[in-house]
Chain A
């Protein structure tokens, strides 16, 4: 069987979903025999490849950089998987959404700061007005809820995808899990 190409990416997330992915432990070796990791924060590839079979995406779409990345990734990915509550619901990053970006930045970098007060503008991506779930920006094929999703749920979903099935995660994980 030829290996499928596999990528992971994180946008506005805490990397907890990736940690949970690593928590599938020794089964990673099994998985490594079936997939080629072509792009991931866990490996050293700089450019997202032209064609990828399965991409896991962690995190919400919160900045112009996130949006560019995910649009690019969607175009080059066959099956896009939203991994975890930030990708699914915008979760914790969305807690800023009731407020204006300017007010949020002022709160973080001006009001609560005693030295070197300034809002970072150079070399950092610009925040979008709202932090949004991935499927509000591009189409998503598979959804794995959880904060983070349990390792077993991630492993189950990947195995189903490798077998060519759409995973049904009912009862295996939930929002906030």
Chain B
């Protein structure tokens, strides 16, 4: 360990923990077996705090903190699962489900979807806000893959893995708010993208059925995510 990096001691849910000062609350919680829900976070990609599910409370502050992008501090007391947090997390899931058209029963990712299993884990049985039912396109121009915007939750994992790991930066996000959408190249059909290397990393880091392989039917799209920690580990070893 670099001797200039200090160790911080603090509390998560009344448990004493210690961590390097450059670590995040989420990382330390996971190392200690404390569950904090998350959807956009992925080990090996730069955290962006987009989904807000990993929000925690820190005693003495009325603000909530996205634990995936909040560094540890000496002496703080983190609360990961208060009534208030549970309420907000359910609301976030409800907004995600109502924003686009998530029809689990006919989705390629049924049974292997992180949004679906998060709903189960957090006890979401129904959505209390009206569904929006937007018309969303499906782009199947790519030879091997499909993007179904009906299922996208804008976690930007595809954007990050393509840029940071593959180095192609084919994906981006265009538009704002409910109009936001992942795009390939400068909003060209995926099949016409000049930068896409057909590596499939985006497909496999996608938490839902938004990105899938062609030819997969309902519940058949299992994502293989083991490559990411492996690649990160190999590359860190080299430098």
* A97 interface residue per 8 A CB criterion: yes
**Known: A98-B135, A170-B120. Contact between A143 and B104, CB under 8 A?**
no
**Chain B residues, CB < 8 A from A177:** 111
Indicate with 1 or 0, residue by residue over A64-101, a CB within 8 angstroms of chain B CB atoms: 00000000000000000010010011111011011100
A143 touches B126 (CB 8 A): yes
* A175 interface residue per 8 A CB criterion: yes
Interface size grouping (class) on chain A: 20 to 34
**Known: A168-B123, A174-B120. Contact between A147 and B133, CB under 8 A?**
no
Among the 9-residue stretches A19-27, A30-38, A44-52, A129-137, the one with 4 or more Cβ atoms under 8 Å from chain B is: A129-137
**Chain A residues, CB < 8 A from B101:** 94-95, 97-98
> Count of chain B residues with Cβ under 8 Å from any Cβ of A?
26
Q: Is the interface of B mostly helix, strand, loop or mixed?
A: loop
B111 touches A176 (CB 8 A): yes
Interface residues of A in 122-163 (CB under 8 A from B): 130, 133, 135-136, 140, 143-145, 147
A147 touches B120 (CB 8 A): no
* B130 interface residue per 8 A CB criterion: yes
Residue of A nearest to B136 (CB): A98
B126 touches A91 (CB 8 A): no
B105 touches A176 (CB 8 A): yes
**Chain B residues, CB < 8 A from A88:** 125-126
Residue of A nearest to B127 (CB): A89
Q: In the complex, how many angstroms separate the beta carbon of A168 from the nearest chain B beta carbon? A: 7
Closest 8 CB pairs of A and B: A176-B104, A147-B105, A143-B125, A174-B120, A97-B133, A175-B104, A98-B135, A176-B110
Binding site for B on A (CB under 8 A): 82, 85, 88-92, 94-95, 97-99, 130, 133, 135-136, 140, 143-145, 147, 168-171, 174-177
Contacts A91-B103, A98-B134 known; 12 new A-B pairs at CB < 8 A: A90-B131, A91-B104, A92-B103, A97-B133, A133-B127, A140-B126, A143-B125, A145-B126, A170-B121, A171-B120, A175-B104, A176-B107
